[in-house]
Amino acid sequence: MTATKKISLHIDGRLCEAAEGQTILEIARANDIKIPTLCYLKELTPWGGCRLCIVEIEGSPKIVPACTTPAVAGTKIISQSPRLQNLRKATLELLFSERNHFCPMCQYNKGDCGLQHQGYLHGIDGIRYPYLFFQTRLYLNRLYKLLIINSLKLLMS
């Protein structure tokens, strides 16, 4: 049995030790460095769908998703920067634009919603993109009339 090779790299200026093959996100989490995620679930194979976990690699013009990118020894990873913040906000806005997200009435998450949480963390209080769904009908119960919410006016409250 061959021992796993150890590597070291910097994330946000912090020296991190890791096993070769670990992703940037795994190493960041092991070192208590917070990188936002939405589609990543620890028990499942990462697929890089949401692009919220993007990071920069010093000296490279590319940005990469931390959850699917294996770390390379000696690299310097940047997980927080104005560029990343802007891109993450735009990603969240696009996600919010796909549906009429009216959190106070939402029955799906019982107060535990990753998208809502990231929206708060990134200061999303409106979006710059056209909504794909202009109206969503919420059936509350028999005592309430059909409530039609104009998604252009409501995002989160």
DSSP 69: -
Q: How far is the CB of 104 from ligand FES (least distance, A)?
A: 26
Query: H or E element: which one contains 117?
Result: helix 114-121
Which position among 24, 38, 77, 95 is part of the footprint of ligand FES (CB under 6 A)? 38
Which position among 37, 69, 91, 151 is part of the footprint of ligand FES (CB under 6 A)? 37
**CB under 5 to 8 A by kind: which of ligand SF4, ligand FES, none does 103 bind?**
ligand SF4
Q: Which residue is nearest to ligand SF4 (CB)?
A: 106
CA atoms within 13 A on the CB side of 111: 0
User: How is residue 156 written in tokens?
Assistant: 């989160």
- Binding-site size for ligand SF4 (CB under 6 A) equals 9
Q: List Cβ neighbours of 142 (8 Å cut-off, separation of 6 or more).
A: none
Q: How far is the CB of 67 from ligand FES (least distance, A)?
A: 3
Interacting positions 98-157 with ligand SF4 (CB under 6 A): 101-103, 106, 108-109, 113, 115-116
Q: In what order do the strands lie in the sheet with 76-78?
A: 14-19, 6-11, 76-78, 54-57, 63-65
Q: How far is the CB of 79 from ligand FES (least distance, A)?
A: 12
